[in-house]
Structure 1
């Protein structure tokens, strides 16, 4: 039997400062292939080349990756400012409706960092442009210097709802994660259930309530060292199992059931 196929949302990039490219981090493909047990395929997140209906037919699940550009604030009813950073309207045009379609169909997705924020915005939520500017919040941004290992190093705790989806999935109510983001959830969207928080109250894990399939997202980067990290491995394993079920024509959602 073939592996389920996971579509990895790509980001726009420049190679050599002048060659446009659609890019995806190797660690995303590695986590999908080696931990989720699926075939990773990069999606050019641009409506000039793909549309949501096609993607839903081709893939068994979607990895909504992190990315340097942010969701455009017009998508959640706000005016852009310098604090909102750079944008990728093409990715917005693909991922936001893709999330809504997956929620309704039960098609699996896992959101990471920007993907976490996209899920909230897709469901009608809003974002803070800069977490570190809020009273009492820590700086969640990636260290500006250092090796990849230093930038993706474990930096803070995340606390899950007792008996909730992430507590049951990861086997612990308190875990340690990396952190590489500037923005974060302000108002949760419709059916967005925030299920994990950093010590400073920043939302770190969510699921879409009553979604018929795997509809989870995290603010940290579990794709880093996913095969060995005790938090990342069960997350990608469960995602792969959900994609396999979808490929086989099943749509179970045991993780999202109330206890």
Structure 2
């Protein structure tokens, strides 16, 4: 069997049974990486006490910045924390934000999902709103509180991409249907961040880093759900896997740019 490139999957900190600390990641993330991207998933204990950014860069070929309940701490974008900002994971912040910047500097592939979408923006100097449903004219993008997993991850709104842009070319369509399971959203894009897709209410949903040396895309929805069968998720993970294989082979990956 040919050795597969390694994609580091950013984990989240949980308390199991209310008192047992653990780092964990959704199985659907690993399944998307293994089955669709064609790479080996490796769960990263996201805490600078256990790993360093340099070690991760040397160990992994690409990185998947996953979603998670804790939010990026607002101090990372120059604001004070409020009750509306929710829970935090400062250890994850301490790893992912410099990791994003290092990947961009090296051209190492990185794909952001939900919180990962927000991390990529904050890492480059952007800001977030703690609760976008409170903004005038915005919808509630949060996960439905009840129902089955299928109901919670059901397709709920359209995302419209920039005509001729990176995501339009990648998906082969200007509009796609996606799920939505987030409370926060991008307010001010960071340096080099290009918002390439929006929900009908104007919420940013897809971004890439302009003039990035390698694959650097992120989405606000959760493409890891049903990634092998979903026509929107599959090309995203397939292209991520191709970029990671190219990096692992030492060839790098040309940046995806808008037309």
TM-score, normalised with respect to structure 2? 0.99
Mapped contact 2:197–2:206 kept (Cα < 8 A): yes
In the alignment, structure 1 residue 162 sits paired with structure 2 residue 163? yes
Return the offset for 1:257.
3.0
* Residue 52 of structure 2: aligned partner: 51
Aligned runs of 1:169-248 on 2, under 5 Å?
169-248=170-249
DSSP-derived class of the 1:137 partner: coil
Q: Structure 1: any 5+ residue segments left out of the alignment?
A: none
Q: Deviations over 1:167-208 (max 9, x none)?
A: 000100000000000000000000000000000000000000
Matched position secondary structure for 2:120: helix
Q: Residue 68 of structure 1 corresponds to which residue in structure 2? A: 69
Distance 1:3 1:51 in 2: 23
**Residues 210-235 of structure 1 deviation map (CA, whole Å, 9 limit, x = unaligned):** 00100000000000000000000000
Pairwise CA RMSD of aligned residues?
0.7
Contact kept in structure 1, 2:168 and 2:174, CA below 8 Å: yes
Contact 2:7 2:62 in 1 (8 A): yes
Q: Give the aligned partner of residue 135 of structure 2.
A: 134
SS in 2 for 1:56: helix
1:3 to partner: Cα distance: 0.7
Kindly report structure 1 stretches of 4+ aligned residues shifted beyond 3 Å.
Answer: none
Tell me, in whole angstroms, the C-alpha distance in 2 between the residues paired with 1:14 and 1:252.
38
Which residue is 1:21 aligned to?
Answer: 22
State the SS of the aligned residue for 2:8: strand
Aligned counterparts of 1:182 and 1:253: Cα–Cα separation in 2: 33
Alpha-carbon deviations, 1:117-174, whole Å to 9, x = none? 0000000000000010000000000000111110000000000000000000010000
Which SS does the other structure have where 1:190 is aligned? coil
C-alpha distance in structure 2 between counterparts of 1:191 and 1:257, whole Å: 12
Give the whole-Å Cα distance in 2 for the aligned partners of 1:44 and 1:182. Answer: 24
Distance 1:257 1:12 in 2: 35
Q: Secondary structure at the match of 1:205?
A: strand
Which residue number corresponds to residue 257 of structure 1? 257
Specify every segment of 5 or more residues in structure 2 that has no aligned partner in the other structure, as ranges.
none
Q: Are the counterparts in 1 of residues 164 and 258 from structure 2 also a CA contact under 8 Å?
A: no
CA contact (8 A) 2:8 2:42 kept: yes
Equivalent position SS for 2:240:
helix
Q: Deviations over 1:95-119 (max 9, x none)?
A: 0000000011000010000000000
Give the secondary-structure state (helix, strand or coil) at the position aligned to 2:112. Answer: strand
SS of the equivalent of 1:14 reads strand
Other structure's SS at 1:252 match: coil
Structure 1 CA distance for aligned equivalents of residues 43 and 223 of structure 2: 18
- Equivalent-residue separation in structure 1 for 2:203 and 2:127 (angstroms): 14
Q: Do the aligned partners of 2:35 and 2:228 also contact (CA within 8 Å) in 1?
A: yes
Paired residue secondary structure (1:91): helix
